[in-house]
Amino acid sequence: MIKLFKILKLFFWPILLTITQFILITLFTLLFNYKYINGLKVEYPKLNQTEINLKFEEISNTEEYIYELSDYLNNNGTIIVIITLILLLPFILKTYNKLKSSNIKKLEFNKYLKIIVFSILLSIGLNIIMYLINSLIPITNRYDDIKALFYTIIPTGIIGPILEEYIFRGIIFNKLKTFNNSKKSIVLATIIFSIMHFELSQIIYTLVVGFYLTYIYFKTNNITVPTIAHITINTTTIILLPLILNTNIYTIVGILILIILSFYQMFSIKQK
């Protein structure tokens, strides 16, 4: 019971991250609505405030408004994530510095290069598998009309992974190791990472990625290693994946086969 309570306490950090982002999104939504209402006042100068509010209430239920709000939040996504980083990172780093191991393994450049290549292949391979599964059994619209959304590179491709690595690997995994053995800690950290991504349709993807990132942190005690891997995985999904999935099925399957063969070759060389 005590151990369960300790595990539940670890959800504080990812929940804090979620709540912070939710509050900022809410504030930006209120700002958008304020500007929108002022625009209605200019467009309909003869209407009083009550009539303007009714007009806005009517408009706010339309698809056009939802699209404009979504576009506004997407365009300000980088600002929202930067503010989140500024607000939370000092507290996250303070906690991480208390928990981190003193036995940090420094990697040579060629090792980082291997991790980057492996992360690219893993990202593409996993997404292709999920895409093929979704083609047979539709469980998500994630892969419908997929496009390279370059405006998400900074918030989703870079800043997001930095925050998540310090939270999930730097704090949660290190804290788990204080009352569990290493194997249990890796499994629990992976499950918590997957749960906090709130995507049931992507459960396989988040479990595999979560395990990979936790494992390479466990082997090195170097937070830079999973951070680089996580950034690589996310930016690959943003930039390269749309280019691949917008080709034909034969090309997609062919790339998956090449990735599987590459992994097989990597592990064969490592065993030798």
- Over residues 31-53, the pLDDT tens digits come to 999 999 999 998 888 889 998 99
> What tokens were used for 127?
């997404």
Name the pTM for this structure. Answer: 0.89
What Å distances lie between residue 146 and 172, 179, 209, 239, 243, CA to CA?
A: 33, 43, 21, 11, 9
Q: Mean pLDDT across the stretch 163-177?
A: 96
* Model confidence pLDDT, tens digit, residues 242-257: 888 888 888 888 888 8
Rounded (10°) CA dihedral 86, 87, 92, 93: 40
pLDDT attached to residue 3: 73
The pLDDT confidence band at residue 192, using thresholds 50, 70 and 90, is: very high
Q: State the average pLDDT for the chain.
A: 88
* Model confidence pLDDT, tens digit, residues 105-137: 989 999 999 999 999 999 999 988 888 888 887
Above 80 in pLDDT, residue 149? no
Q: Could you give the CA distance from residue 94 to residue 183 in angstroms, rounded to a whole number?
A: 26
